[in-house]
Amino acid sequence: MNGGKPENSKETTSTDHHQGDDFLLEATTTDRSLLSSLATLVIKSIEFQVSLMLSFIKLKFFPPWFIHICLSFVMDPYRTMRRGRRYLISKVVELCELGLNDDKLVLETVRRLALGLLWAVHVGIVLFAMLVSAFMISGFVISLLAREPLVVKESLSFDYTKNSPEAYVPITRVNSPNQRTEVSVSMTLPESEYNRNLGMFQVRVEFLSENGEVLATSRRPCMLRFRTEPVRLVQTFLKIAPLVSGYVSETQTLKLKLKGFAEKDVVSTACVKVMVEQRAEFRGGAGVPEIYEASLLLESELPLLKRIIWNWRRTLFVWISMCLFITELVCALVFVRCLIIPRAGQRT
pLDDT for residue 25: 52
What count of other Cβ atoms lies within 10 Å of the Cβ of residue 181? 23
Rounded to the nearest 5°, which phi and psi values hold at 278? -75, 140
Going residue by residue through the chain (348 aa), what tens digit of pLDDT does each one get?
444 444 444 444 444 444 545 544 555 566 566 667 667 766 776 776 666 666 655 555 555 666 677 777 777 777 888 888 888 778 777 766 665 565 666 677 777 777 778 888 888 888 888 899 999 999 999 988 888 887 888 888 888 888 888 898 887 765 566 677 888 899 999 888 888 888 888 898 888 888 878 888 888 888 888 888 888 888 888 888 888 887 888 888 888 888 766 666 556 777 888 988 888 777 766 778 888 899 988 888 778 888 888 889 999 999 999 999 888 888 888 887 776 666 544 444
pLDDT for residue 136: 93
pLDDT for residue 135: 93
pLDDT for residue 317: 92
Which pTM value belongs to this model?
A: 0.51
Q: Are 188 and 253 in contact (CB under 8 A)?
A: yes
Cα(129)–Cα(117) distance, integer angstroms: 18
Rounded to the nearest 5°, which phi and psi values hold at 96? -65, -40
Q: Are 80 and 73 in contact (CB under 8 A)?
A: yes
**Residue 23 to residues 17, 18, 27, 33, 35: CA-CA distances in angstroms?**
10, 9, 6, 15, 18
Read off the amino acid at residue 25: L
Positive or negative, the CA dihedral 78, 81, 87, 90 is: negative
